[in-house]
Amino acid sequence: MEKRFLGNNKLEVSAIGLGCMGMSWSYGPAKDKNEMIALIRKAFEQGITFFDTAEVYGPLLNEELLGEAVQPFRDEVVIATKFGFKPLKDDPSNPRWGGIDSRPEHIKKVVEESLRRLRTERIDLYYQHRVDPNVPIEDVAGAVKDLITEGKVKHFGLSEAGVKNIRKAHNVQPVTALQSEYSMFYRDPEKEILPLLEELGIALVPFSPLGKGFLTGKINTDTKFDSTDFRSTVPRFEQDNLKANMAIVDFIESIAGQKEVTPAQVALGWLLAQKPWIAPIPGTTKLERLEENIAGASVNFTQDELQSINDQLSKIQIHGNRYSPAQEKMVDK
């Protein structure tokens, strides 16, 4: 698989990574541990070297899963994880958290716990999961800078951070990557975020590059989400909005037909074509979807095709917010 470099520090990763969250949390009940370990190892065999997790996924269980899965080839892959939430440790099966906490002393405590769960001596890319309004971003960057000096972390990242805080953090400790939502279904980062990242030499790692599964064409207006699936709380997936948003799926399917690929491969190929420093992390729990996503790295577009696609996308109105009201409050503007 094609390799890409994240940030000015040139962290090398596979062009497409693997988001591991859904294996333990959020998209319905946790999947069989041994099956997910096998899937992660199959991903590595097929060229994926970039794996994404977080302490809050599970909570805590996803880091343990990934750590065990990649142990045989740990030095050949990049592990990204995140800090900044307070999981409800009294009940690890409860997929909720107890609030945001990015105090330096908290960061330096939880990094040790993440290192233990991941069975590693260093975290390759350590993201602040959400900006903490109660802690200056400069203090957060300073704490991670200390961890980098100590060798416990290699690169600093932010997630869902806004322009002002990205710049402030970068002035203290260079930010290697921003992880935020970006896809044909959500193009807001094009307005201010992408230009800033290009200016500062920061990479973008898009999560939900397939629109939380919507852009694959596998979701229709009759789809019902289980209460353990967070999409059941997302306004964008409410029935009326779902119906209205099918226009973008129809458009992507038309492109897929012309290219003789799948809608998911169109969505991933489109993302990769936007900038050479973008590396999406689609998640899956199925081998056939993994192989489909990997093949998306081979879908190419000419500049004329991209311009035409972007012009058409701009005419399609997306209905519904991408988060519940409570989650929206945690996105840095």
Active site residues: 57
Q: Please state, as a whole number, how many other Cβ atoms lie within 10 Å of the Cβ of residue 26.
A: 19
DSSP conformation letters of 181-236: E-BTTB-GGGTTHHHHHHHHT-EEEEESTTTTTGGGT---TT----TTBGGGG-GG
DSSP letter for each residue of 219-287: --TT----TTBGGGG-GGGSHHHHHHHHHHHHHHHHHHHHHTS-HHHHHHHHHHHH-TTB----B-S-H
Coil/strand/helix, residue 31: coil
Question: Cβ-count burial of 238 within 10 angstroms (0-12 exposed, 13-18 middle, 19+ buried)?
Answer: middle
Q: Which amino acid is at 210?
A: L
